Every structure is written in structure tokens, then in C-alpha cells.
A and B are shown apart, each in its own frame.
Chain A
Amino acid sequence: METLQLLFDGFAVAFLPVNLVLIILGCAVGLFIGAMPGLGSVNGVAILLPVTFLVPPTSAMIFLAAIYYGAMYGGAISSIMLGIPGASTAVATTFDGRPLALQGKADMALVAAATASFVGGTISVILFTAFAPPLAEFALVFGSPEIFALMLLAFATFVGLGGDDIPKTLFSIFIGLVFGAVGLDIVSGQPRLIFGEIIGFMHGINFLVLAIGIYGICEMLWTIESNKGNVMISQATMSFRGLLSALKELIGTWKTMVMGSFLGFFVGILPAAGATPGSLMAYGTAKQLSKDPDTFGEGNVDGVVAPEAANNAASTGAMLPMLTLGIPGSPTTAILLGGIVIWGLEPGPMLFIDQQEFVWGLIASLYAANLVALLLNVAMIPAFIWILKLPFTILAPIIFILCIVGGFVPTLDMHDVWLMLIFGVVGYLMRKLDYPLAPAVLAIVLGPLAEPALRQSILMSGGEVSIFFTRPIASVIMIVALVLLLLPLYPIIKRRLTVKAR
């Protein structure tokens, strides 16, 4: 009952005129950014984070969450229309969305994606409301040993799901962690890795600098090289009759939607897993459960519905560990987490106790953003198609300028802008050689959380590493993390053993 009361208060916050306007604006901006090839919710949130200093934290968070939601909806648009996933979360949507569009059923695919997103979002918001308060209660006892174990778990899920080039994935994680260590070592109080005694490194390498460098500059350089602005755009028409028949076909996919939503939510909760693996898993499961799996990949509506329901559910799920434990479930929530810190709020268990208005206002806004995003999406599909036809030579310089200004504003230090450019250029050169870059961004966010937690734990125990296995919560997480870390080695060992046996 208490939860319902809090949620009700939250709705009062969400429906303040300012916040309602921000939800609509955020969804619209998010849809646009999500629909841009190469730009996803990460880019939208990272670039617009500095913009939100104008409003109180609650409104700022609502705005960014609306962008996040909008971008998750919008990601499907370029996946379907251009065959380029708007974001990594929408990769699975291209598998069946693109064939549908080529068959002239783009409207069908777009409506299916929007509806599935809505269902996924709604189911996950309900799950969120039900599970967040007990989790927050439980989180107060989370000390440094538990945090470190959780960080290890985050890396474990990430390593297991990372790219196929193992040394390059590891390299990316390591370099992100080292960059995260630049600045002040809080345990010894000493400055470290201040390259060339440049004063700008004293505040460390801001994760935003790396994130905008990689998702902004590097992504744009990459897109410029690979598409030259000549992307084929399929023709989509919207008609009332088409919409009706689309809805009829959609109703038949409700089971897939529900499955995708639950799967997405629970994968999304896992730290660092996020929406991309959630949507891929949902696609795989839908194919296996389907009566005619062979039609997947050739334009099966179930193949659009499953990943879209899952990625939206996962994006809400990822907010749960972020808000209750202060741990990001995806790169986008990592950036949101940075925002929470910048606004002067302490992420973690106390957020639910200290900042009830903030937390429940946000949850209620998620409900509202969900509905607004659906309506906007359906209404504005024709407009998005028009914008995507804008020459790349107009969009590119504007995005570049947003990157420069966005890199400068958080710290008001030109040092960070130069650093961002270097990250973007070097990142581009590395990306051409198949170095995955997303792990570095995750690592630079997680590293500064993991290292002090590790050292504080060992200080607490007086030099005993066993502290991670003597505390009940820490030991459970630790064991799961170690199993996940070692799992990828299993097939290799098995292969070796069978070879030896022969």
C-alpha cells in the first residue's frame, strides 16, 4: 500500500506541467536521436546531459529518461528503414525488420516495433514498481566488499558477451580501467598518472569525455567513411487500412511480446548486461519457440516484436540497479548515473530513502514516457523518414559541434575537449582493426567504483582477501561472478581434453 501511495505521489510529480513538457520534449528528441544511424540512447543522453543543469534534478532525470525511452523506440526506425541499427540495442530488429520493409511492409514493421516497445516498457515498469523498494531496503547493507563483488560480476557478464576477438576485448577493458584510475588515488591521497604534470588530468578522465569521443566523434568518422551520405531509404506509406490489418496481425504475437518483456527485464537488471544482449536473447528464444522458425530472417513479425519488447524492458530493468545500488546496467545508465552524481545526488540505497520524490517521480515518468513515446512514434514516423533524407553533410557538422560543446561544458575545461578529440580519432583508427570500444566506456565508469571498493575491503579486513567470501551477500555474488568469468574457458578445456584423450 505504501508503495502505491508513493507511486501516486510520483505521478503528481510527473504530471507537473514542467515535467510533462520535458517528457514530451525528451521523447521527441530521443526518437530523433535514436532514429539517426549510428546514434543511440547513449549518444543522446551523453550529449544532452549538460543541457539538464538548468532544471532541478528530478526534472533533469525525467528529461533524460524520456530521451532514453524515446531513443529505444527510435532505434527501431533506422533499423527498419535503412537496415542500419540506430543503436546496438536495435541490431536484432534489423534481422526481420529490414526484410519486411523491403517487401513494402515498412509501416507494418514500424507499428509492430512501436507496439512491442510499449508492451515491453509497461511490463517492466510494473515489475520495477513491485521489486525496487525491497531491493533498496536490502541495499543499505551493501558495503565495499559487496560492491567489488558486484563489479566483478558486471565484468564477468560483459566478458562472456563481448566480441569474438578476446585479446582486443580484454585490451579495451584494461585501457578503460587504467584511464579510470587517472587523477587522485583516494586511499593514499596521492595524485597519480598526471601525464606530463598537466593540471587538467588532476580531476581524472571524465567518462563523458571518453563516451562522447567514442560514440560521437569516432562514430561519425566511421559513418562518414562507410556511407558517404548515400544510404538507400526504403519507401514507407502510412494508411489507415494498413494500420488496422497490422494491429490484427500484432495481436497474434502477444505471447512473444510478453516473453521478450520478462526476459529483457531480468537480463537488464544484471549489471552491465543491458539491452543489447537482452534483445538478442529474446530474438533467439522467439525463434526457438516459434512453429515455423525458418521464416525468421525473412520477415517474420515475431522477429521484430521479440527484440523490441526486450530492449525496452531491459532499459527499464537497467534502471533498477542504477537507482537502488548505484551500479549501471548498461552504458546509457552509466551516463545517467554520472548525471545523478553531477546533480549532487548520491546514487545508491539512500536515494530511495533520501530522495523519494526524485525516485518515484522518475518511476511515474517512466509510465508516462512510455505512452508518450508510443503516440509520438506512430504520429511522427513520416517526419523521421524525411529527416533521415537530409544530406549527411548538414547533419554531420551539427553533431560535431554538439560533441565539442558537450565535451567542454561539464568541466569547463578545454583540456577535456582535446582529450575527447584524441579519443575519437584513436578510437576510429582502432575500430577499423576490430577493437571493440564499448567495453572501454563501461570500464571507465566501473573502474573508479571497483578499485576503491577492492582496497577499502582489504583495509577493512586488515589485509585479508577472504573478506569477499566470509560475508554472505558478497560471497554469493563473488561465486556467480567467478563461474561466469571461467565459463568461456570451459569449451576450450573440453576441447583440449578430448584432443589429449585421442
Chain B
Amino acid sequence: MAARVRLLELQLLVLPALLGIVGLLTIYLSGTGSTRWSWSDIWVSLVFMGMVLGTSVWLSLIGFSGDQVLFPLVAMLSGLGLLLSQRLQLVLQHDAGWATLAQRQLVYLVMSFGLLWGTLTFLRRLDWLRRYKYTAAVVGLALTVVTMLFGVEIQGARLWLDLGVVTVQPGELVKVLLVVFLAAYLDDYRNLIATGYRLGPVTIPPLPYLLPMLVMWGLSVLAVVLQRDLGNALLLFGIFLAMLYMATGRIAYVAAGLLTFAAAVWVALHLFSHVMVRIQVWLNPWSQPLHAGFQPIQADYAFAHGHLFGTGLGFGFPQFVPLVASDYALAALGEELGLLGTTAVLGLYVLLVARGTLIALRARGSFVRLLAAGLTVVLGLQTLIILGGNVRLLPLTGITLPFISAGGSSLLTNFLIVALLLKASERVGELR
């Protein structure tokens, strides 16, 4: 089939490409206070622009016929993330790492684009993944266990594996593996799980078929809890419930799941003191204004300072918020881009979820549909949990904001998800 130009995608990509250039110029000029600049000041944006447009052209060349809206959305978000890292680089003290924050983020982004190209070019069929569902489960569990045993602790959570040169966060990949496993398994046993055994008027859930899933899920949640990573526990739980519901369409499972979750929260509250502290700090950060509450208080100040239109890139004080680049990316955006900026970012994520759902609905093959829907839930739920924490809708957790937060593992994983979604969208609108 002849290469068809992905015109819509190219048109949509003009926006993120310009965003990178204008944003970086603003950041640079706000520091110097003049209007003189040279091309070398914005080489990072030019690289970004090249990658984004190059990817689209490459996709046209290989005759990729998938969704044309998803990639511009992702480009926009990751462009914002790149801008944020360039912005924060100016004010953050040099932190430990093999390069500066801005350089690292650029390298991660290049790697992520590489991953996207590679996946789209070499992965023939998504159905291929379903054959490896138990492999995915085992690898996922193994990664979790390894992290638990040999991980290094950063900020009270043991989530990182130190590989000498870099530290990676295997938990990010585990989410994708879990979705792959759940999608394949649920697709295989969907009918059995949905109907259950009838015993007079009572329907008993088919425990033997639920069991492997429950074990897999229970072990990952347990590991996550032992690692004190509450955000990921909530995320895994949400993924599990959502996929169970999507596969069976039975609300009873969701209700039962929520009940067990409430019970688990209650137990955790009494068992782990740090959970209690989290909740207290969430409800009233002023109870510990110098310790645990310091970060949310400073983030509130940053949001409030942003007001409607923000101070403009380069004119805020994101350095006042501790760990702003990983935990509180939205606060930094909120201060400099204002309420308009933050709602726009929210809008981008909503569009991303909507597009992902649309891809899942249009995809062919029940496994691919479940996989796409599950991956969309991963993105949407993760965003929701961390943003909810940032705006104090939920207790704050240490998970990353997809595409925007600094961090390589998270960026690579999210690009993998996007690649899989794009793959799932292939043949959309085509007659078979």
C-alpha cells in the first residue's frame, strides 16, 4: 500500500512544535531581560520539533494508518514536560545525576521517541502479546520482588533499582505488564467470570477463575504496600477494578472491590503510621507546617500566585516548592501559566483519555480492545491520582504525572503505552 500522508497529524503537530520554540524563547529571554537571541539558545526546541515532525513523516512513510490525534496530544504534553525541565533547570540546585535535569529529560525524550518508532515499526500484531500473558505476569512479579529486595530507598519509598549508571523504576513497567496479563486472561475467561455459578437465586462468583488474577493483583499490591508506594497501590487497584468491569460489565465486582478497598484503607490506617500522617497532612498541612506539611503548603502558595493567567514562563518561583519537578509539576505550571494553563493541561489529558477510549471502542479483536482500554485507564487514572494529590482532592502520593514529570522510567513507559495504543488503532476506518 502506498504511503499516505498523515495530514491531520502534521497540522496538529504545528502547535506543540511552536509551543516548544516560543516557550523556550520566553524562558531564555525572561532571564536575560532583553530581546536578543540566537538559534543556539533554542536548539533543544529545534531538536524536539525535529523529532515530533520526523516521527509523523516516518509514520507516513511506513504506511502507518493508525490514529492521527493521539500523537499530537502526546507531543503537546511531553513538549510541556520538556519546557518545564528547561525552566526548572534555571533555578534548581544541581542535583545528583549523570547530567543536568534538562539534559536528562531531553535524552529520555529522545529514547522515548526511539521506543515509539521501534514499537510501531517492528511490532507486527498486538495479538502476539496475548500469547505471553503468563510471561508478562511472571516478569511483572519478578520485577516487583527484585525491587523490593535490592531496591534503593528514595524519600521513604523503595521504588528504584540502582543499575550503576542510572536508577530505574521498574514499577512503571509493571503496570503495563499487569494490563497485558489482565487483558489476555480476562478475554480468555470472560464468559465464565461474567456468569458465575447459579445456585438458586444466588450467583456465586467463579472463584477458581478469579483466583489467578486475584493472586497476581494481590501480590503486586502487597509488594507496593511494603514499598510504601500508596499511589501505585491505588493505581493498580483501579486498573484491576476497571478491567474487571470492562471485561464482564458487572457492577457487583466494582462494588465488592470498593468495599475491600475501604477495608484495606482502614487496616492500613491502623497498621502503618505513615498512612495516617499522609492523611493528616492532606486534611490539614498546617498541623506540621515545617515538616510533612511544608510541601503542600508551598504548592498552595504557588497555585495561588498563578491566578488566572499566571506570571508567565520564567517569572514565577517554582523553586519554593520542594521536589517540584517530580511531585508537583502541576504547581510549577499553575504558577507560571495560571488557571488557564492548568485547565488546558487537564483538557489535554481528558482528550487523551477520550481518544484512548475511542481507539478501544473501534479496535478489532476483543483482546486488543481490552488492552487499549486498560492502557487508557492506566494513563487516565495515574494522571488523576497525582493531580488529585496536587490539588488536595486526594492525599498526595509520589507517582509521576505522565509525560510532564521529570523521570526516564515514567516517560519511557508512557511512550510505550502510546505506541501500543497507536498500534491498536491501526486499520481504524479501513475496510477489512
Asked if A and B bind, the verdict is no
Q: State the B residues within 8 Å of A (CB).
A: none
Tell me the A residues contacting B by CB distance below 8 Å.
none
